[in-house]
Structure 1
């Protein structure tokens, strides 16, 4: 969090450049996520709001390769809600974010990583089917993300234990060696 905020301060001191808002916003999101991991919900909220203002003021989504805009801010809000234990809010924010135009503009790995992370919120909310579907969708988007991240394997195992799964979730489980094909 400190490193990201120090970098934002340096950007604020530099002469204005079109990419600065996107870079500063991305750093603010990273700082907000770090604050949330450290259980500093107030700082996480404040930093996310700062990032949201930048996203609203500067339409800089994917400007020169900087994947920043309102959708990444909303995805961060969903993760912060997950880590704060408000799984209902996390799922609502997630659904809003993936319904936005910016979702498809994000890099495939970013979208898949988010789907893997939000699978835990679905599980904690009691919706193993949605968790499994999020993982199957992540695998369609970026298989390497889903098949190599331990958190994806853990979430898929939990979804499988919770009960019935769809065919695509069962295929994913077989593909990563959790069940026999």
Structure 2
């Protein structure tokens, strides 16, 4: 196994550990949001984080985080399959993060309040499609190249954007001038 594959496997194993869900919080009558000083601490952190906000309703933000964790699991599965020359497994895992009309609609909806977000999100999914193509060709080096390109789209997106959880009136205000979702997911 090449050093690049070993290094990537190690990195993804570490990142995969981060993707596991935390145990449920104990039931209490007070939440962290109401703890003294929490709001000001969260505000201080938000001011330090200069990434562009992606406004989302709470349910949307949670759904997006679940998808991101699943994307990470798919990348972990790609690396594990590639390590054993299981190109069908690589293709199957890459298909989970590749483009589909449903994924395009979801990315468009999620990015409705953040101009530029949808294009970057769709680019990720289209980039992941190239992993599948390389797996169909049984081209190990190209799978790694395309996986690297896909991970670069991940890191550049996470470097540019942060979730901003908003209430329904704010969501409506921020997305009322958004273009129709159908045209936003087309790639010419």
TM, length-normalised to structure 1: 0.34
Name the structure, 1 or 2, with higher relative contact order (CA <8 Å, separation 6+): 2
Greater per-residue helix proportion: 1
Of structures 1 and 2, the larger Rg is shown by 2
